[in-house]
Structures are given as C-alpha cells and as structure tokens.
C-alpha cells in the first residue's frame, strides 16, 4: 500500500461524510419549515368528526338499550 491510496481513501471518506452532513442539514431545514401546529381547517374537521362520532355512539347506546328491553320481553316466559 502506498500513500497515494491512503490519501484517496481519506478523501473518499471525507466526501461521504460531507454528503451525509448535507443531507442531515437539509432534512432538519425542511422539518423546521413545516408548521408546528395543525391548521385551523384540520382542527375544525377533527372537532366536527369527533362530535359526529359522539352523537353516533349515543344513538347506538339508546338503540342497544331498547333492543335489550325488547329482547328481554321476547324471551320472558309466556303465561
């Protein structure tokens, strides 16, 4: 092995590290540019969806109670 080979190897390693550092810096710059909180439209949509979900869950609970009452009457022994 000669010094020429080692200098080329060192230059190649330095180039790879430089490219890796540049990619890392670019990823950090892009991540920092994004808004940190959701937009107003997303938040409003999420709240609307949550309200619909809660309303649907309440309706299902009421229906389950009525079906359970009807089922209890149906299965009761007849006189």
pLDDT tens-digit readout, 42-60: 889 999 999 999 999 988 8
Q: What angle do CA 75, 76, 78 make, to 5 degrees?
A: 115
Average pLDDT of the segment spanning 26-38: 74
> Band of the pLDDT at 36, cuts 50, 70, 90?
low
> Band of the pLDDT at 32, cuts 50, 70, 90?
confident
> Band of the pLDDT at 20, cuts 50, 70, 90?
very high
* pTM (whole model) above 0.85: no
């Amino acid at each position: 092995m000669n010094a020429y080979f080692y200098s080329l190897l060192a230059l190649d390693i330095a180039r790879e590290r430089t490219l890796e550092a540049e990619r890392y810096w670019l990823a950090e710059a892009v991540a920092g540019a994004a808004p940190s909180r959701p937009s107003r439209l997303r938040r409003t949509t999420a709240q609307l969806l949550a309200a619909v979900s809660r309303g649907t869950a309440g309706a299902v609970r009421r229906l389950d109670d009525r079906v359970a009452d009807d089922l209890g009457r149906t299965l009761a022994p007849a006189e």
